[in-house]
Amino acid sequence: EIMMTQSPATLSVSPGERATLSCRASQSLSNNLAWYQLKRGQAPRLLIYGASTRATGIPARFSGSGSGTEFTLTISSLQSEDLAVYSCQQYETWPPTFGQGTKVEIK
Partner 1 sequence: QVQLQESGPGLVKPSQTLSLTCTVSGASISSGSYFWSWLRQPAGKALEYIGRVYTSGSTNSNPSLRSRVTVSIDTSKNHFSLKLTSVTAADTAVYYCARKVDGQGWFDSWGQGILVTVSS
Residues contributing to the site for partner 1 (CB under 8 A): 4, 32, 34, 36, 41-46, 49, 55, 87, 89, 91-92, 95-101
CB of 49 to partner 1, least distance (A): 4
CB of 97 to partner 1, least distance (A): 7
Burial of 58 (0-12, 13-18, 19+ CB in 10 A): middle
Choose between 43 and 60: whose C-beta lies nearer to partner 1: 43
For residue 48, the cross-strand partners are 35, 54
Choose between 40 and 107: whose C-beta lies nearer to partner 1: 40
Burial of 69 (0-12, 13-18, 19+ CB in 10 A): middle
